[in-house]
Amino acid sequence: MVGTAHRSAGVEGVEGGVGLTALMVAAARAIETHRHDSLARDAFAEHFVLAAPASAGWPIRMQQVPDGDADPLWGRFARYFGLRTRVLDDFLLRSVRAEAGGARQVVLLGAGLDTRAFRLDWPSGCVIFEIDREGVLAFKHQVLDGLSATPKAARVPIPIDLRADWVGALTDAGFDRAEPSVWLAEGLLFYLPGASEKYLIDTVDLLSTGGSALAFEVKLEKDLLAYRDSPLYTSTRDQIGIDLLNLFDGEPRPDSAGDLADKGWSTSVHTPFDFTRRHGRGPLPEQNDALEGNRWVFANKPRP
Ligand SMILES: C[S@@+](CC[C@H](N)C(=O)[O-])C[C@H]1O[C@@H](n2cnc3c(N)ncnc32)[C@H](O)[C@@H]1O
């Protein structure tokens, strides 16, 4: 770590609320890691699940899931997270390559238990800024310190709520807006109020010089509740007590991909299923599908 910003708001950890979703993603990554055809490997993921009282009894291997791939949560949804991890790993590494602009600053918004700073092979000179709430990052450090984990790039945790002044915290921590940057909001925006999402996207634009890149995930459904009886939502609620629909912000969403295009970014919008087909594994569309509105957006700011 090269430094820690100390301005914080919101100390909730991984024991409940939206912080618990970070543990759910960690369990999914642990399961993915041990699949024979895994799309992404994260050797740290299972340690988070084993360390937190809130995830006691959750599986970290497919063999611990009685229904296997037929289980909507630990089968299909976990595979979704495995695919998302792989696709966004690829995006980040592609974006820091010299021919893509050679950005050396990476900002993980709502980083949760993302261990990319520890497991990806970053080019020299990269700095990974990780923004999440204080309690989530404290838990993450407790587990990683216990494993004597060493980051593969300079890593700067920034414990702050994204509804507070995270820009001041990021710049105080050494982010340089004159240099290209790579941004990631993975599994985050649908938990934020629409105004916070709009502020976040506008701010990423302001802080990004030409050659910068951003990836984020959104849900396009007009009515989130239309899928409230989907197996994915009901199994997540019934098996591990996470009521995603209760955690998602119910306000109408801004058109963030459209807003970035209006600001001159080049954007591409994909369904997860596009990548399932590309990789030959992952979730495919089904009836009453809670993933139906999910989109992964990739945006690049051209050089002047
Ligand atoms: C589903 S987890 C995803 C974590 C990580 N991006 C990943 O994919 O592994 C959502 C994360 O967003 C964080 N988050 C949600 N609302 C936030 C806020 N207002 N400020 C900071 N972090 C927030 C949560 O603490 C949690 O770690």
Per residue in 181-212, pLDDT tens?
Answer: 999 999 999 999 999 999 999 999 999 999 99
109: Cα within 13 Å, side-chain hemisphere: 27
The reply to whether ligand 1 has any atom less than 6 angstroms from the CB of 273 is no
The atom of ligand 1 lying closest to the CA of 185 is 6
The reply to whether ligand 1 has any atom less than 6 angstroms from the CB of 113 is yes
Q: What is the pLDDT of residues 231-265, one digit of tens each?
A: 999 999 999 999 999 999 998 999 999 999 999 99
The reply to whether ligand 1 has any atom less than 6 angstroms from the CB of 133 is yes
The span from the CA of 288 to the CA of 91, in Å, is: 29
Q: Nearest C-alpha to atom 4 of ligand 1 is from which residue?
A: 112
Decide: 105 and 212 in contact? Cβ < 8 Å: no
The span from the CA of 257 to the CA of 214, in Å, is: 10
The span from the CA of 38 to the CA of 78, in Å, is: 11
Q: What is the pLDDT of residues 3-33, one digit of tens each?
A: 333 333 344 788 888 989 999 999 999 999 9
Question: 19 CA to middle of ligand 1, Å?
Answer: 7
Question: 249 CA to middle of ligand 1, Å?
Answer: 13
The reply to whether ligand 1 has any atom less than 6 angstroms from the CB of 297 is no
Q: What is the pLDDT of residue 45?
A: 98
Question: 18 CA to middle of ligand 1, Å?
Answer: 7
The reply to whether ligand 1 has any atom less than 6 angstroms from the CB of 187 is yes
Sequence-ordered list of residues with C-beta below 8 angstroms from that of 169, at least 6 positions apart, any chain: 5, 7, 131, 158, 160
Q: What is the pLDDT of residue 3?
A: 33
Residue 227 is encoded by which pair of tokens? 């899928």
Q: Nearest C-alpha to atom 12 of ligand 1 is from which residue?
A: 110
Site to substitute for ligand 1 among 8, 33, 191, most atoms within 8 A of C-beta: 191
Q: What is the pLDDT of residue 102?
A: 81
Residue 85 is encoded by which pair of tokens? 């991890």
Residue 33 is encoded by which pair of tokens? 């890691």
Structural Rg of the chain based on CA atoms: 18
Question: 21 CA to middle of ligand 1, Å?
Answer: 8
Decide: 85 and 39 in contact? Cβ < 8 Å: yes
Pick from 171, 157, 169, 175: nearest CA to 3: 157
The reply to whether ligand 1 has any atom less than 6 angstroms from the CB of 115 is no
The span from the CA of 2 to the CA of 38, in Å, is: 32
Task: Locate the DSSP E strands across the chain.
Answer: 105-109, 127-132, 154-159, 181-185, 213-219, 266-270, 294-300
Question: 99 CA to middle of ligand 1, Å?
Answer: 30
Question: 198 CA to middle of ligand 1, Å?
Answer: 17
The span from the CA of 299 to the CA of 290, in Å, is: 24
The atom of ligand 1 lying closest to the CA of 85 is 8
| Sheet containing 105-109, strands listed edge to edge, beginning at the edge strand earlier in sequence | 154-159, 127-132, 105-109, 181-185, 213-219, 294-300, 266-270
DSSP character at residue 209: -
Write the class of the CATH domain 19-300: alpha beta
Q: What is the pLDDT of residue 100?
A: 64
Strand partners, 216: 185, 297
Pairing outcome for strands 127-132 and 181-185: unpaired
Q: What is the pLDDT of residues 75-115, one digit of tens each?
A: 999 999 999 999 999 999 999 987 766 899 999 999 999 99
Residue 296 is encoded by which pair of tokens? 């992964």
The reply to whether ligand 1 has any atom less than 6 angstroms from the CB of 199 is no
Q: What is the pLDDT of residues 217-240, one digit of tens each?
A: 999 988 999 999 999 999 999 999
Record the pTM.
0.95
The reply to whether ligand 1 has any atom less than 6 angstroms from the CB of 161 is yes
Judged against a pLDDT cut of 60, whether residue 50 lies above it is answered with yes
The atom of ligand 1 lying closest to the CA of 21 is 1
Instruction: Give the DSSP per-residue string, 31-92.
Output: HHHTSTT-S---TTHHHHHHH-GGGTT--SSGGG-TTGGG-IIIIIIHHHHHHHHHHHHHHH
Backbone angles phi, psi at 122, to 5 degrees: -85, 145
Q: What is the pLDDT of residues 107-158, one digit of tens each?
A: 999 999 999 999 999 999 999 999 999 999 999 999 999 999 999 999 999 9
Q: What is the pLDDT of residue 97?
A: 87
The reply to whether ligand 1 has any atom less than 6 angstroms from the CB of 134 is no
The reply to whether ligand 1 has any atom less than 6 angstroms from the CB of 244 is no
